[in-house]
Structure 1
């Protein structure tokens, strides 16, 4: 505990010394003596302390976590004095001052003695290290980076957690034609929010088996943008568990319709199908997957007020199938409630599927911040799930419970943000053991400083 305290205090001290120095710079780029093969260097800094409380009712000890993210990076332009050759490096440290939570304390073998989980273990990592070359409006990129596609429903950086999710990619992006954006990339590694290989947070692939990412979008008019995608994931056997993967093909439509000078309606509609993975690594046979997904959402905003209604549905597994429709690379905290009750289920299983009907109301003021309230109603898609040829327990009810989420956030200064939010999940006894029946209460208080 003392060593952790020293590390975090040291990080805070470094910030206290550095911030006045950094903010006194008159130019965007920091004036440093650099080798001749390096051009312009611009430093980046993020400091984010956060308190998180978790009460998993009638099971485990309540979790109390005071953690800090310190991320230091550098944008390097004109490498070898080449105008369009650049790189970005970022190192991130996550440490806990208060560590009464799993996995910092307790073991999965002693469930009754365990603390509830907070997915922010002590960890230090190179979060980004990539090189990019831009030729006209075409960019080539190689290395480890955040990868946020569309609204991160399928692929995202999970930046809510203290350690973000990053990917090693070999990719090309093009927007030569106005309003047309194309991305093609191969993923050779995944670094999740922890280093836990059993939960597939850390994975790497051979080049002939790596996930292939294709995303193309075109904005016809402000009222209509169409995006098509193909995310081809190979299945993998790792540490005694099977990563099912799956080929996902989909399309979504988004747009903004100005109803008046101050009132706007925004919409989203999406449909996708998921099939067997295109390749397997260490498995005798490919997992069997055949499921679909859709969601619709409408948002009305004006005079600072906003309201959203949405519905999404994941198909569960039929007989002979290993999983329903899953989204293993998504920023899952943004969906299906902030309590993260269904996080692991949506990422790897979905045997019974899931339906989520949700509504949000809120208000934003330019000086006083944003306050919002969200309600979720969860149901199973099927009352009988499957894991390959094995039928799972039949549900007595498809009701998977409900949740209320509350958020308040405000920018205290240009670089400093305050956030407080809470999540209250009310479960149902009909839920299968694979998901859990316990209610959940979580809340967070957070400060974020960015430079």
Structure 2
């Protein structure tokens, strides 16, 4: 009997410990299950719509020898998706993008008209898993990638179908220092095509210097479909200085590039940007000079850049034949706000680097702003006047846009 009582006294604490452990594990499992459920149901619905009317009247002289009518396009871009809440720093995002043409008087939908690069289609725009905690970040999957001012790496967000990348991105941020590395396996272009790549992107910046932010980058692009490599190395300084009621702004950037084509031929070119301006009483005025060098008929290329943002909104100067002679773009811009409406005016004067040919001039005008927290609207105009008749970009071009956007 005494042995039974002794065994009972020994077993009781063990049973109590087991019960406590079971209850603790059950509570922890329940808490973890609740955290997962909260993250899945407490995420963010992504609704982004843009209805846009666009015209393109490009003079038919050198483009393709045909007589095409002016383009009229009314397109609706719809993005619908969902991003979960955070689970220990992890999130999952999936987003579908669709472009529909209500008025389709434009190439490629109808080749009798001038072009508007917004074809109809539907695709997975983004599908990614991300992590962000304690300054460490990572994103794997189909994603949007924008570095700096999007001159070299961007999403071409102006077009209805943005550019995305199937990639793995890793970053670290500590105070004013940031570094990012990206490996890209596939680029998904704005016309719903894609190409296999093996790209390495490295970008590092420090923003606490008295003169402003400094950054350096190495963008090593390898297009496996065309067996072409483009290696670009560069650095920039971007800053501003407050002088009483006046703020001086400035940016200086330099990059060097080597392009090797499928035959093994190499072309070495340079990029230079000098920009300065002032902000006074709500008005910003800037003068700039952007130079894309050339080497034996091949110009400095920015195939992953948001090129519409630079070199004029008429898109006469994009990577390829239009930069074969190089590009020297001198520009002046003035911007301000009237209530919620942003007003911008830009004038460009273009010249080739090779032989200093007159490549034309362009005026850009914009009025855009938010109507409320969900809706925005704007109008925009680009008027390009061609230069010398023996260059590929000599075609006069007028483009106009009017749009309304909604995000929920």
TM-score (norm 1): 0.78
Which aligned pairs between 1:308-387 and structure 2 lie closer than 5 A? 308-318=286-296, 323-345=298-320, 350-365=323-338, 367-383=339-355
Aligned residue for 1:428, secondary structure, equals coil
Alpha-carbon displacement from aligned partner over 1:87-145 (angstroms, at most 9, x marks no partner): 21111111010000000012xxxxxxx31000001011111111012342111221111
Q: Is contact 2:247-2:280 (8 Å) kept?
A: yes
User: What's the counterpart of residue 204 of structure 1?
Assistant: 196
Structure 2: any 5+ residue segments left out of the alignment?
Answer: 1-35, 61-66
Cα gap change, 1:286 to 1:219, in 2 (>3 Å):
same
Distance 1:181 1:204 in 2: 28
User: What's the counterpart of residue 190 of structure 2?
Assistant: 193
The structural deviation recorded for 1:52 is 0.3
Matched, 1:416 2:361: no
Larger Rg: 2
Alpha-carbon displacement from aligned partner over 1:139-198 (angstroms, at most 9, x marks no partner): 1221111111000000101110000011111121001x21000001111010111124xx
Cα gap change, 1:303 to 1:436, in 2 (>3 Å):
closer
User: What's the counterpart of residue 387 of structure 2?
Assistant: 428
RMSD: 1.9
| 2:252 aligns with one of 239, 246, 269 | 269
Distance 1:272 1:344 in 2: 16
Q: Between Structure 1 and Structure 2, which shows a larger proportion of strand residues?
A: 2
User: What's the counterpart of residue 230 of structure 1?
Assistant: 218
Matched, 1:214 2:211: no
The structural deviation recorded for 1:361 is 1.4
Cα gap change, 1:37 to 1:415, in 2 (>3 Å):
closer
Alpha-carbon displacement from aligned partner over 1:3-55 (angstroms, at most 9, x marks no partner): xxxxxxxxxxxxxxxxxxxxxxxxxxxxxxx9688363211111110000111
Q: Is contact 1:244-1:287 (8 Å) kept?
A: no
Structure 1: any 5+ residue segments left out of the alignment?
Answer: 1-33, 107-113, 197-201, 384-396
Q: Is contact 1:314-1:353 (8 Å) kept?
A: yes
Matched, 1:286 2:264: yes
| 2:50 aligns with one of 48, 53, 56 | 48
Q: Is contact 1:326-1:349 (8 Å) kept?
A: no
Distance 1:431 1:300 in 2: 38
Q: Is contact 1:54-1:441 (8 Å) kept?
A: yes
Distance 1:221 1:37 in 2: 39
User: What's the counterpart of residue 155 of structure 2?
Assistant: 157
| 2:106 aligns with one of 97, 101, 104 | 101
| 2:396 aligns with one of 422, 439, 442 | 439
How many residue pairs align between the two structures?
367
The structural deviation recorded for 1:370 is 1.6
Cα gap change, 1:306 to 1:325, in 2 (>3 Å):
same
